[in-house]
Chain A
């Protein structure tokens, strides 16, 4: 004779199996998605710097772009974001490394057309945008020069990556670190005309 509890437990086992299978399928999907990195950059880029154009030299496999630091001024770095996947994404934001150990601080992101020549203007503001499979958009990062007062003139900051936040299939929020087409090098200035208010107590020597 079965009890009421037994009747209830008839549902439990198939339910648990179903949930388990569903979770495993979901896990497999997440694992696949977590490795899905559709975003990349093309070779094109442009730099608008306050102390003259960036100097470009190949350095091994790297394209080195060197920019002179001018305290509290800003530079703009534009590159082409490319979706190499077949499914469109919606880009919702960007992040770059910053903090007291870096000579630049990102102060704005903007989106232009599909080529560097169509980069957004200096006053443009960021808005989410769709990036279809196989398509390009120019992203411009505005960076403020900061922290030379504390960073040794024998040191510098290399910009190599940007983190792109996006939604895949319009649903799942994701992030991907994208490598720039250049290594943008900013050296800490060695003299006071480009780094005022340095004192004997503010930074290591150079």
Chain B
């Protein structure tokens, strides 16, 4: 190697190392206060409310709404908007929320680009003095404003109590809708399902865009706050027909609410979730589109555990319904830690890293272990092979190492996975019970259409050894159609159709069919059980069924789960990416027909000044950069390099001797 080349290499290495040090890590988000399920007294809401002059309503518009309304092509919708424009009273969604006087008020959002700029700054006054509490139920108690400043000065606590949300609604949220006006005042007192009820004028409030499409009304958070809209303890809330984009945590966040509807929304370019509902009941999430979200497009996690005591397969009722949604180009199309009693049907989950996951892996979600959800009928789960880990986290110049506003979420379709996923996975149940996966179409998922793995209870910090095997039982996979792309039809097989680690009791696979061949599964699992029973199988222990059959020792060798579970974005420890098989794109299945799979990132519509606001000059909130160059993965071990070098030296010496012998002059 020439001196110049060596110098270039050294310089490049130095630049790379320096870049690794100075580039910012991903922006951060937050945890949450301990959550409670509502009492379950709420009601289902099937559709948004139509306009009625007789019902209390507030109209919100932007200065250019008239022009945007004039551009609407549908004359009926245009006329209705023109009439509403005459009633416009606010330019701010939050001000309209604050002006609500009666329950079930409709807030009509006229076409426009909303940024709520007056709420997107740093907390001030007492709200800047919040500090973390050591109490796990009420974290972030407001400090006495006259007292000493908080010890931590780099932001709000990770989880605010509801009381603090009420006092400081914009610490974490661009728009806050807080329905419980009488929370427990004493932070040391435990709340109960009875104390968290909605009792304000905001109960039943509706926020609805009035455009032809959800893109006509855009709430652009510009990465300024964790949440675009937070609806907390707002029973009966309806969110409909607009777009929320560019948040550090959730586009739309609904928590501890009983009876809610999310309809015809677009949620895009969020570091975590497009739609997140938590500890909710009687929730309906329908007709939405979600893309470019780092965790999942739709997350009905910790849903009310209405079947928690049900030890049989049939459900008593569902807590959340997810239907007719299109969730694509996310890390996960759908996820639900503790996604209990959720009915997911007639959706499309495609071109994500993983189509859907539901799990019992992550601690502190009420209602674990996950149970009694139904995935089907008529979900289309296909082409979930986007490898955002390789492209955006572990590439040579990873976009996710840049500050959040420079990554190009909307412009380039960048997705930064905030949690592990299974590239090429259609639907994964990681520690769930009594789930039904039935009557779906699943094709072109290059690793596996479904994955079911046991998750030891200790990983969610459940230390009772009797509950170690309380997940991965009584799941039914019935009458799914595999490997058939409906558009052709073309044969587009999954890598395999079903993966099972053999853990758990009462699981079954029956009446599934595949185009052009047999249904396939991982060979280690052998022939999958085909008998389904409604009665839960297992051993009863403290109200839970645990698996008697495979006490861990027969589980198929770790399919990467444990090593992958160390994933932490740009802070991931060295070697994890290389050893995690799930982060590497599987090979295209043999016999695939039809057009070639297109890995090109989705080109989002409406990425223009009419729909995307300029970023604030100082919006960057970045996590302290993680300098992995300091990681010590263990000293290097003796290699064979020294030996090879010595051997080369020896051969060189002998070669030199031969050369000298051949070229020496004859001796007289």
Contacts and interface: CB of A to CB of B under 8 A. Distances in A.
A157 B575 CA distance: 12
A101 B627 CA distance: 8
28 contacts: A6-B665, A16-B657, A20-B650, A20-B651, A30-B642, A34-B638, A34-B639, A58-B555, A60-B557, A61-B557, A66-B458, A97-B573, A97-B632, A154-B361, A154-B420, A156-B565, A175-B636, A176-B637, A177-B634, A187-B461, A191-B31, A198-B158, A200-B30, A200-B226, A201-B154, A201-B155, A204-B28, A205-B272
Contact of B623 (A6, A29, A201): A201
Contact of B668 (A1, A57, A185): A1
Nearest to A161: B634
Contacts of B647: 23-24, 27-28, 31
B558 interface: yes
Contacts of A206: 31, 362, 364
Contact of A190 (B362, B553, B649): B362
Interface in A1-52: 1-2, 6, 9, 12-14, 16-17, 19-24, 26-31, 33-35, 52
A196 to B, nearest CB: 7
Given A30-B640, A34-B639, A60-B557, 15 more contacts: A6-B665, A13-B661, A58-B553, A100-B630, A101-B571, A152-B568, A156-B566, A163-B635, A165-B635, A175-B638, A185-B458, A192-B31, A199-B152, A199-B156, A202-B623
A23 B653 contact: yes
B538 interface: no
Contacts of A34: 638-640, 642-643
B558 A17 contact: no
A76 interface: no
Interface residues of A, number: 78
A202 B626 CA distance: 11
Interface in B280-316: none
Interface string A148-183: 001111111110011101000000001111000001
How many chain B residues sit at the interface, stated as a range, is 35 or more
A21 B154 CA distance: 66
Contacts of A21: 650, 654
A153 B31 contact: yes
A101 B574 contact: yes
Contact of A198 (B132, B420, B463, B501): B132
Interface in B588-612: none
Given A27-B644, A153-B363, A193-B134, A203 B28 contact: yes
Interface in B616-631: 621-624, 626-628, 630-631
B637 A175 contact: yes
Contact of A64 (B159, B226, B456, B463): B456
A199 B551 contact: no
Nearest to A23: B650
Contacts of A193: 134-136
